Chains A and B, each alone.
Chain A
């Protein structure tokens, strides 16, 4: 009876392993299949084969597959932290760009890994080939070194400048990493005199005392984009078509209205 139910379960687990989009889930399915198979061997009075099947199939092979997909199974995103687009909320990440990237990673069957970096380092990380996609409030550039996607959210650019002295604002808390910490640090110590900020960062910064600065809105109709590492043309193509589909199915508009009501 047990054997029959195991034999019925076997093809189902095999189908489960085959149909998984996420590679890690597929590998776990295969390990499970090995265990079941070992059970079948054991019930068929072949304990030798069962022991070997468990040791090789369930332990060693599973482990080697996990190591093999370690690099190829991930979509690595380098991102600045920008409220509304991609930011921390406790342990989790939230935001419009995070939602888009999560959906894209699921679409590809990859695990999403987000590295939060100061905005200045995002591009350098992409160029070094340590990340696949750059995100976090990147305003459309004509930087030839990257493959960029069509804008997914319109924004505006603001210039903060100051003629005279700037008071340092030591009351601001220092943050280790993440959302435009470099700009925040500059405002905190009062060292730099002028910044160009996009809408999301400007809104986040406007809770500070900016009376020392004059604010001007820059011309043009910029929008936020993603950057794809220069050598990942296939990924870029997939990402662009994924974004197009999001836009056509009104899913993008729905996401935007959710995060920016």
Chain B
């Protein structure tokens, strides 16, 4: 049997512990039963500091739901890894070089796509977007590069086992950030940071941090899915 490193066991225990903690604290907690939608629409900007109501809801009022959605994505990535790692790798085929058009447009488009992804994640609390779509957009940019230049070329520069582990470290960080308010005697998932001037980048409290963390996590997850599919099902 393979020895499991202490770090993984600790991380797993910590993950489960965070979740149990959140569940325990909320066990007797019944939220306001009144008209939630009306309250969100009329008071969200003042209460959360985020101009984009959607992100105000899913990263502040309903952060609890979002945590599970992050989990769903992580499990999906894990599933892809689990089922593809066992499959035999494609034997190295002589790569047909992509046409100049595709390579040049990949070179031109990749920085723009990456920038769009970062923008979507960074300005998620001000304009449409958010960490999830930002991460996927940036990941699709990598996909374009993988198609144009070959997966191995990208993976050599980019892919590390540590990189895959970073995804789980970020998940841990998100959970810790959610539990952290306990230290200050607040209920978990509540907002600690100042709301800032409404409409400026540094507003919305923790929503900005959540967006960035989720964006990075989804970006890595998307790349892991693409990488394993390309490696075990062959190049496009």
Interface hub of B133, B233, B236 (most chain A Cβ within 10 A):
B133
Q: Residues of A within 8 Å of B, CB-based: how many?
A: 17
Q: How far is the CB of A261 from chain B (nearest CB, A)?
A: 39
Q: How far is the CB of A46 from chain B (nearest CB, A)?
A: 8
A48 to B123, CA, bound (A): 12
A51 and B143 within 8 A (CB): no
Q: Residues of B within 8 Å of A, CB-based: how many?
A: 22
The answer, yes or no, to whether A168 is at the interface (CB within 8 Å) is no
The answer, yes or no, to whether B120 is at the interface (CB within 8 Å) is yes
B133 and A60 within 8 A (CB): no
The answer, yes or no, to whether B210 is at the interface (CB within 8 Å) is no
A59 and B129 within 8 A (CB): no
Interface residues in A34-78 by Cβ distance below 8 A to B read: 46-48, 50-52, 55-56, 59-60, 63-64, 66-68, 70-71
Residue of A nearest to B132 (CB): A52
Question: A48-B52, A48-B54, A60-B222 given as contacts; is B140 within 8 A of A55 (CB)?
Answer: yes
Chain B residues with Cβ below 8 Å from A66 are 236
Chain B residues with Cβ below 8 Å from A63 are 143, 226, 236
The answer, yes or no, to whether B79 is at the interface (CB within 8 Å) is no
B233 and A67 within 8 A (CB): yes
A70 to B117, CA, bound (A): 29
The answer, yes or no, to whether B225 is at the interface (CB within 8 Å) is yes
Q: How far is the CB of B175 from chain A (nearest CB, A)?
A: 22
The answer, yes or no, to whether B40 is at the interface (CB within 8 Å) is no
Question: A48-B52, A48-B129, A48-B130 given as contacts; is B225 within 8 A of A64 (CB)?
Answer: yes
A52 and B143 within 8 A (CB): no
A64 and B229 within 8 A (CB): yes
B133 and A52 within 8 A (CB): yes
A-B contact pairs, 28 of them (CB 8 A): A47-B128, A48-B52, A48-B54, A48-B128, A48-B129, A48-B130, A48-B133, A50-B128, A51-B120, A51-B133, A52-B130, A52-B133, A52-B136, A55-B140, A59-B140, A59-B143, A60-B143, A60-B222, A60-B225, A63-B143, A63-B236, A64-B225, A64-B229, A66-B236, A67-B229, A70-B233, A70-B234, A71-B233
B contacts, CB < 8 Å to A: 52, 54-55, 120, 128-130, 132-133, 136-137, 139-140, 143, 222, 225-226, 229-230, 233-234, 236
